[in-house]
Copies of this chain bind each other. A is one copy, B any other.
Amino acid sequence: MKRMTNDVTATATSQLGFTADETREQALATLLEQVMNTRSVSDEEGPLADAVEAFLSAQSHLTVRRHGDTVVASTNFGREHRVVLAGHIDTVPIIDNFPPRWLKPGDPLIREDVAAAHPGERVMWGRGATDMKASDAVFLYLAATLTNPQYDLTYVFYDHEEVAAEKNGLRKVVESHPDWITGDFAIIGEPTDCGIEGGCNGTMRFDVITHGVAAHSARAWMGENAIHKAAEILNRLNAYEPQTITVDGLDYREGLNATLIAGGKGTNVIPDECRVHVNYRFAPDKTLPQAKALMMGADAGIELGGGEGVATGGVFEGFGIEMKDESPSARPGMDSPMARSLAQLVKARTGRDPLAKLGWTDVARFAILGIPAVNLGAGSPLLAHKHDEQLAESELTLMADILEDWLSTSAN
C-alpha cells in the first residue's frame, strides 16, 4: 500500500489534500469530503477546478495543464501504453442536498437499498455523492499515489458535463488541445457500481414536419390540415420495431420515439404546420451517417443548423426534417487486450460482467479520437441526480482497489 505526504498550500478557497498519518481509507474519505464540500454546480466549477489544479500541481510526477475549468495532469514515465482517467467535476443543481455530511449506520436518511448492500457502514450523503464526486476523489487519490504504474496515465477533471454539449469541458479541451488527450484506453468515472459499462448508443433528435394551409375552421375545406397529415408520421413510428444489437459481445437496445409534438395556431384555425420531435437511439454498429440514412435517406443532405430539408428515404421518407442534435455512438472496445484484462479483474472483484451503456455518455468523445473507452465508477447509477444521492464508504475503496490493481506494475 502506497502512502504519500501531500503538502498542498494552494491559495484556492477550497483545499484538497490528505496527510501521511491517514490510512488509505481515511485519505479517500478525506478527499471525498473536500470535493463534496466544494460546491460545483455547472457554471460554478471554478473553485473546485482551482483546488484540483493546486492539488495536482503539488505532485512532482505530474505535468498539469488547464483549459477553462478543465484540468489535465499527465505522467511521463515512458511507458508503451497510456490510459486516460476522466471525471466531470460539475453537478446538477442543488435541492436541499448541500452541504454534504456523513450519515452514521441507522440514520433514517440512508436508503434501504444502500443500507441492505452495505450494512453497518457510514454513508456520504449530498449532491454529487454518486455523480460523480466519489470517482473524482478516487482519481485524485490515484493521481497522487500511483507513482509507478504499468501504463502512463492522463487524468482529466472537466467541467460542464451536466449541461448542453456545446459547454462540455472535455469536448472543448479535445477540440482546443487534442495533443493533451491521447492514449490507448480511457475510463470515465460515471457511477456503475464499479462494473464496466461499455460504449454507448448514439442519439439524434430531429423534427419531422408536415405543412398545410391555414383557414378558419368553419371553412376547413379552404385549408389543409397539417396535424391530420402527421397521422402518417405517428403510424410509421408505431410500425417501427426497435432492435437489440450485439456489438463486441454487449447488447444495445435501440429506440425510436416521438418525445414532443406541437402544431396549430389557434383553436379555430386549420393548422398549417405540425412538428413531431423524434429521438433515435442507435447501436454502435452504425455510424452517425448510417443512422441518419435509416431515418431520412443517404442523400437528403439535411445537416444540423441547415434548416428544413426533405427526407429522400428511410423511415420518414417524403416528410420535412430539421436536425436538432446528433451524437455518434461508441463501440465498447471490449475486444482490446486492456479492456479484457480490466473486465477479468472487475468480474473477479464484483462478479459482474460488462454491460452495454444505453444512454449517451462522454465515452463517445474518446471513440471519436479512436480511444476505446468504458464507464467505471463508484456508486449506483440509479441514484444519479436524485435528491438523496448517497454512497457507502466501502464503494470508494472498491473502486480504488480495482484501478490500483489494474494500473500498478505489481498487479499485472
Binding site for B on A (CB under 8 A): 201, 203, 205, 216-221, 225, 227-228, 230-231, 234-235, 237-238, 242, 253, 255, 257-264, 266-271, 274, 276-277, 279, 281, 324-325, 358-360
Chain B CB within 10 A, most for which of A255, A257, A268: A257
A267 CA to B261 CA, complexed, in Å? 10
Per a CB cutoff under 8 Å, which of B205, B220, B264 touches A260?
B264
* B258→A228 contact, CB < 8 A: yes
Chain B residues, CB < 8 A from A325: 267
* A266→B261 contact, CB < 8 A: no
* Residue of chain B at shortest CB distance from A324: B267
* A358→B324 contact, CB < 8 A: no
A231 CA to B238 CA, complexed, in Å? 8
Given pairs A216-B359, A225-B237, A261-B274, 18 additional interface contacts (CB within 8 A): A217-B257, A220-B242, A221-B242, A221-B255, A227-B234, A227-B260, A227-B261, A231-B234, A235-B235, A257-B270, A258-B263, A259-B266, A260-B264, A260-B267, A261-B261, A261-B262, A261-B264, A267-B325
Interchain residue pairs with CB less than 8 A apart (24): A217-B255, A217-B279, A217-B281, A218-B358, A219-B358, A220-B242, A220-B255, A221-B255, A225-B237, A227-B258, A228-B237, A228-B257, A228-B258, A258-B271, A259-B264, A259-B268, A259-B270, A260-B263, A260-B271, A261-B261, A261-B263, A261-B274, A262-B262, A267-B279
Smallest Cβ distance from A291 to chain B, in angstroms?
A: 15
A280 CA to B125 CA, complexed, in Å? 53
Per a CB cutoff under 8 Å, which of B228, B234, B268, B359 touches A218?
B359
A228 CA to B208 CA, complexed, in Å? 14
* Residue of chain B at shortest CB distance from A260: B264
* Residue of chain B at shortest CB distance from A361: B218
A360 CA to B218 CA, complexed, in Å? 8
Per a CB cutoff under 8 Å, which of B259, B269, B358, B360 touches A259?
B269
Chain B residues, CB < 8 A from A360: 218
Smallest Cβ distance from A164 to chain B, in angstroms?
A: 10
* Residue of chain B at shortest CB distance from A230: B234
Chain B residues, CB < 8 A from A277: 264, 267
Chain B CB within 10 A, most for which of A225, A234, A242, A271: A234
A235 CA to B233 CA, complexed, in Å? 11
* Residue of chain B at shortest CB distance from A237: B228
Chain B residues, CB < 8 A from A261: 227, 230, 261-264, 271, 274
* B276→A259 contact, CB < 8 A: no
Smallest Cβ distance from A381 to chain B, in angstroms?
A: 10
* Residue of chain B at shortest CB distance from A264: B260
* A255→B218 contact, CB < 8 A: yes
Smallest Cβ distance from A393 to chain B, in angstroms?
A: 27
* A235→B230 contact, CB < 8 A: no
Per a CB cutoff under 8 Å, which of B205, B227, B253, B358 touches A267?
B205
* A257→B220 contact, CB < 8 A: yes
Chain B residues, CB < 8 A from A268: 259, 279
